[in-house]
Amino acid sequence: MSNPATLAATVAGADAIAAELGGPSGPRPRVTFSRRNIILYGTLIFAAIYYLIPLYVMVVTSLKGMPEIRLGNIFSPPIEITFEPWVKAWATACTGLNCDGLSRGFWNSVRITVPSVVLSIAIASVNGYALANWRFKGADLFFTILIFGAFIPYQVMIYPIVIMLREIGLYGSLTGLVIVHSIFGMPILTLLFRNYFSSLPEELFKAARVDGAGFWGIYLRIMLPMSLPIFVVAVILQVTGIWNDFLFGVVYTRPDTYPMTVQLNNIVNSTQGVKEYNVNMAATIITGLVPLAIYFISGKLFVRGIAAGAVKG
Amino acid sequence: MRFGFYRAALAASVAFCVSAPASATDLEVTHWWTSGGEAAAVAEFAKAFDATGNKWVDGAIAGSGDTARPIMISRITGGDPMGATQFNHGRQAEELVQEGLMRDLTDLATKEEWAKLINPPTLLQNCTLDGKIYCVPVNIHSWQWIWLSNKAFADAGVPVPTNWDEFVAAAPALEKAGKVPLALGKQAWQESGALNVLMAAIVGPETFLKVYKDKDETVAAGADIAKVFKAADDARKMAVNSNVQNWNEATAMVINGQAGGQIMGDWAQGEFQVAGQVAGKDYTCLPGLGLNAVIATGGDAFYFPKVDNADISAAQETLAHVMLSPETQVAFNLKKGSLPVRGDVDLTAANDCMKKGLEILAAGKTMQWTDELISPDTTQQMNDLMAEFFSTPTITPEDAQKRFAEIIAKAD
Amino acid sequence: MSAATRPSKLFKNLNAKIASIPMILTALCVFVGGTTWTVVYSFTDSKLLPRLRFVGIEQYERLWASQRWIVSIENLAIYGILSLVFSLVIGFLLAALLDQKIRFEDTFRTIFLYPFALSFIVTGLVWQWILNPQFGVQGIVRGLGWESFSFDPLYNADIVIYGIMIAGLWQGTGLVMCLMLAGLRGIDEDIWKAARVDGIPMWKTYLFIVIPMMRPVFITTLVIIASGIVKLYDLVVAQTGGGPGNASEVPAKYVYEFMFRAQNLGQGFAASTMMLLTVAIIVVPWAYLEFGRRR
């Protein structure tokens, strides 16, 4: 891949695929004020406004001081912009005795999220691969159970899992939490991967078999390189889910490894008589920034990944 | 002051004896005290504990006991317990004790003669199961208060009421002045709390106990309790414009004069204090709603899960000791707005409202509260009923009372 | 399937079986084991801690006698059906609009997707605000002079479940849109060309050709949406706490509160057993048919 020519070819190829995946046929329509375009963009902008109102309220509120919030209405822009709520949410907000805001849990969240995302995706992708290409007797039964598992409310499983983790000696440890996240991410992810792998041309798989490649060989040398987009999709789903998790993070770990959402909860629910809405909003946005960044970075791949994965079921 | 110093020296020496000297042990303490006054109060415990050379590791989980409790239980049953944990004493932790997951503190209690110190004695009884002591009561909380905004009544041009009946009578004037007569957070526990306070105030402790202790459904369905539901109906009407959810938001309405009053436990006091308000001048408190000045002695207690580690065990004993020491009791309870669990401490720094509470306590006018009398399950059913009642004007007081009597009939 | 037809299939499948051990363990130990555990304890009078003291079907009798449980189920039914339909329709429409080779597609897509990044605690809080009658939308409109304007979905017991859905759709439709868009992107260009040559109107092409071709996408999406609906809890707690009264209660909240707040595990497990039983009746045969026969 270091060869510039190859790189260029790859990029060109990717562009070609992008063009091919680009939607209904025909030349790119001229952007004019045709009736069609007015309806099209009008609808999209109207929808976008609905989606953006809460974000607007959050941002505006987070930039106001408390007196202004009490006086003004929630939609009015700040008269005097202050970044103090952001500083407070990140660095000084108190939850109980600890007054170091969200920053306290940030690295814990990273430490929880990274291995959980990696492990859960590794397991689910192998599951999906086995289900799609190496189906063995009973595999469908296990997969059906897994899909059923997607519907179990997490809360019901808290105590059985406490008992299981206690018995294998992992209760209260980061490892235990990572396993729990892998377990609960498994149903949806396995579904995604299974659909993706079974949509890949079967000829590839057969050719590799003829060449004598085994289970792991095909997975590592053929399936993995071809399925980067679906891995991005899985990363987005898992990062969102695990980063925002509160329940598991707080039940299965100890205070020194609590994720950021615990602080978020403590800030949002912890009030000094009057709720500090500006700090609440700032804390909220800060907490959401990591998954948002993942969306921005991988937006294009996200769509193409799902396209390849879910299309042919 | 000399007395205080002597106490402190004694405390230090006892702490020195019970804890392993010179080994600073980290002790994780979980609690759900995160609001303004509460956080300031818990800091006093931490300060006193850290002064013994150990280290308080704070495990605060906001969202009151309901969010925090499953986490605490998971930790204890999962075999990775914290060093100490808050519970309301009463029946919440009963089963954890029965399962042998909590540490028996009887030896320490005997040595330090808790039985003599702790007043009223029912507090220690609530920590006792089969003759053994399992928890340290740290404060007395009483639900039976109404907090009135002097400003709201001044704005409305009526005198500050001295009891519930006057308050109800003043409601139209408050409404005319654009006030919400009764601030009430739209959460079930606040609504059923208000009902119980009304009950204790209107029919008195004896009937209250007949209902909740003896679970006498004929009393619950009777004429006395009908008066209570009538009063709850008044409260419902007065709180119709109270669009807040958390208790401290409702308290804030009283603090800034938007609302006439709030029925809430003495923990609301901490919020007035944080807002810089003075009892008697900015706000008025009426124990027992001004009708029946009896207070219930519920409150918070700390339990110490059983651990194998000797250092932690020692630190647990130190913490138990520190929590009951007179200085900590005073400092903690002044900030928390609750009453100390020992009668021998000097509370000259207490404000108007706390003094009222102390007088009632000294006069022995105490009663048991629902935490001690009914199971959390029954409490939940009460909460569901009252949530429905307070938000549905079409449920008549009579209907609600009928359903209440049914719950009592099946209560445990 | 290729592997299954080979003579030495036991050996060949060994690797696949070994690789599937985590999945099999999860399916059996966690999902089957945990569910069985829950069902067994639903017949006990467990309070704070799980204990095996059987009381027959007492917990179930009490469950079905509970007004709150009935309201919870009704709410879930209303919310579930409406939110499933709206999610799919809105998600598909947005995707179809974005698929018209529009400009700023990235921007629009990100706008529709961002709520998915925000946690439920937060989603509920913001909407609780916007829908607050005093300082939210109602307050603003009234401030503009329309005094009788009324919009207080979170404070009106009759419509509160729809108020929660407003926020739920805001939060969840972005992901549905992305899945749908991806599905649309996978439709062969030739299909569109052929449809155009035959003079089939666009909406007909979507309805009768494209959507049937997207069945697998709809199934993936359906599972994701439906599992989210059954587990609906955080959104309600963050916005209304189940209120006003019990008007916005949902089953998952009933389960959670009886388990932990009321310290009546038996009752919570009975409720969750009813939920899981319903899910099992619908999902298991369907999933087995859907995934078992293919390819």
Q: Can you give the three-state secondary structure of chain B, one letter per residue? A: CHHHHHHHHHHHHHHHHHCCCCCCCEEEEEECCCCHHHHHHHHHHHHHHHCCCCEEEEEECCCHHHHHHHHHHHHHHCCCCCCEEEEECCCCCHHHHHCCCECCCHHHHHHCCHHHHECCCHHHHHCEECCEECEEECCEECCCEEEEEHHHHHHHCCCCCCCHHHHHHHHHHHHHCCCEEECCCCCHHHHHHHHHHHHHHHHHHHHHHHHHCCCCHHHHCCHHHHHHHHHHHHHHHHCCCCCCCCHHHHHHHHHCCCEEEEECCCCHHHHHHHCCCCECCCEEEEEHHHCCCCEECECEEEECECCCCHHHHHHHHHHHHHHHCHHHHHHHHHHHCCECCECCCCCCCCCHHHHHHHHHHHCCCEECCHHHHCCHHHHHHHHHHHHHHHHCCCCCHHHHHHHHHHHHHCCC
Confidence of residue A134 (pLDDT cuts 50, 70, 90): confident
Specify if A294 maps to a domain.
yes
Tokens 């492990």 correspond to A119
The CA distance from C48 to the nearest CA of chain B, in Å, is: 6
Q: Among A36-40, A267-271, B343-347, where is mean pLDDT lowest?
A: A267-271
Which residue in the set A139, A215, A294 is minimally distant from C15, CB to CB?
A215
The tens digit of pLDDT for each residue in A2-27 reads: 343 333 333 333 333 333 344 444 44
The strand pair at B135-137 and B295-296 is best described as unpaired
Which residue in the set B57, B79, B271 is minimally distant from A255, CB to CB?
B57
Burial C5-42 (b: 16+ CB within 10 A, else e): eeeeeeebbebbbebbebbbebbeebbebbbebbeebb
Of residues A244, A248, A253, A117, the one with CA closest to residue A186: A117
Domain B2-141+298-362, CATH class in plain words = alpha beta
Domain boundaries, position C203: 67-292
CATH number of the domain where residue C228 is located: 1.10.3720.10
The tens digit of pLDDT for each residue in B226-269 reads: 999 999 999 999 999 888 777 877 888 899 899 999 999 888 88
Chain C partners within 8 Å of A20 (Cβ) = 189
- Asked whether the beta carbons of residue A166 and residue B78 sit closer than 8 angstroms, the reply is yes
- Asked whether the beta carbons of residue B60 and residue A272 sit closer than 8 angstroms, the reply is no
Mean pLDDT on B308-330: 92
Mean pLDDT on C261-268: 89
The tens digit of pLDDT for each residue in C150-202 reads: 888 887 888 899 989 988 999 989 888 887 887 787 677 778 888 889 999 88
Specify if A17 maps to a domain.
no
Using CA atoms, how far residue A301 sits from A185, A307, C47, in Å, is: 21, 10, 49
More confident call, C83 vs B70 = C83
- Asked whether the beta carbons of residue C246 and residue B387 sit closer than 8 angstroms, the reply is yes
- Asked whether the beta carbons of residue A153 and residue C283 sit closer than 8 angstroms, the reply is no
Which residue in the set C132, C259, C260 is minimally distant from B243, CB to CB?
C132
What φ, ψ does residue B367 adopt, rounded to 5°?
-145, 165
Specify if A214 maps to a domain.
yes
> Is the Cβ of A161 closer than 8 Å to some Cβ of chain C?
yes
Specify if A13 maps to a domain.
no
**In this complex, how many residue pairs, one in chain B and one in chain C, have their CB atoms less than 8 Å apart?**
75
Cβ contacts of B121 within 8 Å, gap of 6 or more: B115
The CA distance from C111 to the nearest CA of chain A, in Å, is: 6
Specify if C146 maps to a domain.
yes
Total domains, chain A: 2
- Asked whether the beta carbons of residue C272 and residue A156 sit closer than 8 angstroms, the reply is yes
Q: Is C212 exposed, middle or buried (0-12, 13-18, 19+ CB in 10 A)?
A: exposed
> Is the Cβ of B61 closer than 8 Å to some Cβ of chain C?
no
Q: Is B276 exposed, middle or buried (0-12, 13-18, 19+ CB in 10 A)?
A: exposed
> Is the Cβ of B209 closer than 8 Å to some Cβ of chain C?
no
The tens digit of pLDDT for each residue in C47-77 reads: 888 889 999 999 999 999 988 999 999 999 9
Chain A, 272-311: which have a CB under 8 Å from a chain C CB? 277, 280-281, 284, 287-288, 291-292, 294-296, 299-300, 302-311
Chain A partners within 8 Å of C39 (Cβ) = none
Which residue in the set C186, C233, C269 is minimally distant from A307, CB to CB?
C186
Instruction: Clarify whether residues A164 and A285 are in a common domain.
Output: yes
Residue of chain A whose Cα is closest to the Cα of C15: A215
HEC-encoded secondary structure of A136-190:
CCCHHHHHHHHHHHCCCCHHHHHHHHHHHHHHCCCCCCHHHHHHHHHHHHHHHHH
Instruction: Clarify whether residues A254 and A146 are in a common domain.
Output: yes
Which residue in the set C246, C257, C258 is minimally distant from B388, CB to CB?
C246
Which residue in the set B35, B39, B78 is minimally distant from A165, CB to CB?
B78
Instruction: Clarify whether residues A159 and A45 are in a common domain.
Output: no
Tokens of B406: 């049914």
Confidence of residue C136 (pLDDT cuts 50, 70, 90): confident
Residue of chain C whose Cα is closest to the Cα of B388: C245
Confidence of residue B182 (pLDDT cuts 50, 70, 90): very high
Question: B301 and B89 in contact (C-beta within 8 Å)?
Answer: yes
Q: Which of C121, C131, C239 to mutate to test the interface with A (most CBs of A within 10 A)?
A: C121
At A271 the pLDDT is: 47
Specify if A90 maps to a domain.
no
Specify if A231 maps to a domain.
yes
The CA distance from A114 to the nearest CA of chain B, in Å, is: 24
Specify if C19 maps to a domain.
no
The tens digit of pLDDT for each residue in A62-85 reads: 998 877 876 667 788 888 889 988
Question: B30 and C224 in contact (C-beta within 8 Å)?
Answer: no
The CA distance from A262 to the nearest CA of chain B, in Å, is: 8
Cβ contacts of B322 within 8 Å, gap of 6 or more: B11, B15, B45, B48, B49, B52, B328
> Is the Cβ of C133 closer than 8 Å to some Cβ of chain B?
yes
The tens digit of pLDDT for each residue in A180-206 reads: 999 999 999 998 888 778 777 778 888
More confident call, C23 vs B243 = C23
Specify if A5 maps to a domain.
no
Confidence of residue B389 (pLDDT cuts 50, 70, 90): very high
- Asked whether the beta carbons of residue B376 and residue C155 sit closer than 8 angstroms, the reply is no
Query: Do the domains B145-296+371-409 and B2-141+298-362 match in fold?
Result: yes
Residue of chain A whose Cα is closest to the Cα of B45: A97
Chain B partners within 8 Å of A174 (Cβ) = none
At A71 the pLDDT is: 64
Instruction: Clarify whether residues A177 and A36 are in a common domain.
Output: no
Domain boundaries, position A69: 27-82
Specify if C129 maps to a domain.
yes
Which residue in the set A23, A147, A313 is minimally distant from C184, CB to CB?
A23
- Asked whether the beta carbons of residue C241 and residue B94 sit closer than 8 angstroms, the reply is no
Specify if A93 maps to a domain.
no
Total domains, chain C: 1
Residue of chain B whose Cα is closest to the Cα of C246: B388
Question: How high is the mean pLDDT of chain B?
Answer: 86
Burial A6-29 (b: 16+ CB within 10 A, else e): eeeeeeeeeeeeeeebebbeeeee
Chain C partners within 8 Å of B187 (Cβ) = 241, 243
Chain B partners within 8 Å of C155 (Cβ) = 243
Residue A147 pLDDT > 80: yes
- Asked whether the beta carbons of residue A97 and residue B43 sit closer than 8 angstroms, the reply is yes
> Is the Cβ of C48 closer than 8 Å to some Cβ of chain A?
no
Q: Map out the domains of chain B as residue ranges.
A: 2-141+298-362, 145-296+371-409
- Asked whether the beta carbons of residue B62 and residue A273 sit closer than 8 angstroms, the reply is no
Which residue in the set A142, A188, A310 is minimally distant from C24, CB to CB?
A142
> For domain B145-296+371-409, which CATH number applies: 3.90.870.30, 3.10.20.30, 3.40.190.10, 3.60.15.10?
3.40.190.10
At B36 the pLDDT is: 67
> Which DSSP letter does residue A83 get?
-
